[in-house]
Amino acid sequence: MPALLEVDDLVVDYLTPTGRVRAVDHVSFSIEPGEIIGLAGESGCGKSTTAHAILRILRPPAQISGGRVLFKGRDLVQMDERQLREYRWNHISIVFQSAMNSLNPVLSVGDQFVDMIRAHVHSSKSDARERAMNLLQLVGIDRTRIRSFPHELSGGMRQRVVIAMALALQPEIVVMDEPTTALDVVVQREILQQIEELQQEFKFAVLFITHDLSLLVEFSDRIGVMYAGELVEFAPASRLFREPKHPYTVGLMNSFPPLAGERLTIQGIGGAPPNLANPPSGCRFHPRCSHCTPSNPALYALQTRVKPELQLVGENHTVACHLYGDGRER
């Protein structure tokens, strides 16, 4: 059976006045039906850009410069505007990181459901409203809130509304672009539980994007870690949690304190993400990597000059790092 969604060698560039900036650099992964995939990384690593590319909602100056995005075998990159409109939301929907800003402030919640439903399904206005009210109820919001305007709802309620909207047409995939970042911890927890319950009920696949790796570990089936536009590690969640391979993944894991247990010193990752207009040579992580020192000249030369390729290091576990395998070019 082919994957539900296959991202194949995707390249996204930002065309800036000073030249191309490669935000997503030959990224490949696939999503199976009903699977929760996590995509983690620091700000600016290209995870959101990847998500937007999947829906083809990139804005200039960003553009897809290469690769394919296959949904059930159909390449989205080749679709025209009309085909795209049909595909969006019907098959794949998105929840943005700021629920505050993803609703139109001058239209009522109901109107924003209705126009979306009617753009895809042949239905009367009252039927669409009825459907919208059922969806609100599904995410635990009072049916009468259909008449509310976005500013009359709390942050958590707004995010629920957006989630209800994303599920409206029962898409096969829901992209969640940091859906809980703008919310406080308690509401975050509630929303995540709700997403989990809904996912178990409706069996949609999720592409969950966050910088919070600890959150992904308990929530998703497989996790991809991105650094500087590249996928550096991809593994089942439990495996990644037990034995992260890439030094960057290890660094991300160590950035979160355990709630219980001894007091630890958080290590984090030194330095800042690289400038993508002029990325480091060799392994892009090498300037920040503690395993990269001139004390091992052979390895050091490799790390600073040769780009590591993704290689299999365990069951379904790939990593792009010179520390593993032969590290030679294939």
Partner 1 sequence: MRYLVRKLGFYLSALWIAITLNFIIPRLMPGNPADTLFASFQGRMSPQQLVALKASLGFTSGNVAQQYVTYLWNIAHLNLGLSYSHFPVPVSTVIADDLPWTLLLVGLSVVISAVLGTLLGIIAAWTHGSKFDSLLPPILLFLLSFPAFWISLFFVYIFGLNLHWFPTAHAYAIDQNISLNWTFIGSVLYHAFLPASVVVIITLGGWVLGMRNNMISTLAEDFITMAQAKGLSEKRVMLMYAARNAILPQVTSFALTLAFIVSGQVLVESVFSYPGVGYDLVQAATLNDYPLLQGLLLIIVVAVLIANFVTDLIYVRLDPRVRQEA
Binding of partner 1 by 90 (CB under 8 A): yes
| Stretch touching partner 1 by CB under 8 A, among 63-71, 94-102, 200-208, 221-229 | 94-102
Contacts 24+ apart (CB under 8 A), 239-247: 239/314, 239/315, 239/316, 239/317, 240/317, 241/217, 243/314, 245/313, 245/317, 245/319, 245/321, 245/323, 245/324, 246/285, 246/319, 246/320, 246/321, 247/285, 247/289, 247/290, 247/291, 247/321, 247/323
* Cα–Cα distance for residue pair 326/234, rounded to 1 Å: 19
Binding of partner 1 by 123 (CB under 8 A): no
Among 1, 106, 260, 266, binds partner 1 (CB under 8 A): 106
Among 9, 86, 184, 243, binds partner 1 (CB under 8 A): 86
Among 125, 151, 305, 328, binds partner 1 (CB under 8 A): 151
Among 15, 65, 72, 115, binds partner 1 (CB under 8 A): 115
DSSP 227-289: ETTEEEEEEEHHHHHH---SHHHHHHHTTS--SSSS--------S-PPPTTSPPSSSTTGGG-
Q: For the CA atoms of the chain, what is the radius of gyration? A: 21
Of the pair 100, 310, the CB lying nearest partner 1 is at 100
Of the pair 105, 271, the CB lying nearest partner 1 is at 105
Smallest distance from partner 1 to CB 24, Å: 17
| Stretch touching partner 1 by CB under 8 A, among 26-34, 85-93, 122-130, 235-243 | 85-93
Contacts 24+ apart (CB under 8 A), 321-324: 321/232, 321/233, 321/245, 321/246, 321/247, 321/283, 322/283, 323/245, 323/247, 323/291, 323/299, 324/245
The answer to whether the CB of 20 falls within 8 A of the CB of 223 is no
H/E run at residue 25:
strand 19-31
Among 12, 23, 103, 132, binds partner 1 (CB under 8 A): 103
Binding of partner 1 by 116 (CB under 8 A): yes
Among 14, 29, 89, 285, binds partner 1 (CB under 8 A): 89
| Stretch touching partner 1 by CB under 8 A, among 8-16, 102-110, 254-262, 285-293 | 102-110
Smallest distance from partner 1 to CB 294, Å: 45
Among 2, 9, 16, 57, binds partner 1 (CB under 8 A): 57
Among 6, 44, 87, 123, binds partner 1 (CB under 8 A): 87
* Cα–Cα distance for residue pair 299/272, rounded to 1 Å: 23
Residue 216, CA distances (Å) to 15, 80, 88, 139 in order: 32, 34, 25, 22
Count of residues near partner 1 by CB under 8 A: 34
Among 18, 78, 80, 81, binds partner 1 (CB under 8 A): 81
Among 3, 10, 146, 165, binds partner 1 (CB under 8 A): 165
Binding of partner 1 by 181 (CB under 8 A): no
Residue 242, CA distances (Å) to 37, 217, 257, 289 in order: 17, 10, 16, 20
Among 4, 7, 69, 94, binds partner 1 (CB under 8 A): 94
Binding of partner 1 by 74 (CB under 8 A): no
Binding of partner 1 by 108 (CB under 8 A): yes
Q: Please report, as ranges, the residues that interact with partner 1 according to CB under 8 A.
A: 52, 55, 57, 59-60, 81, 84-90, 93-94, 96, 98, 101-108, 115-116, 119-120, 149, 151-152, 162, 165
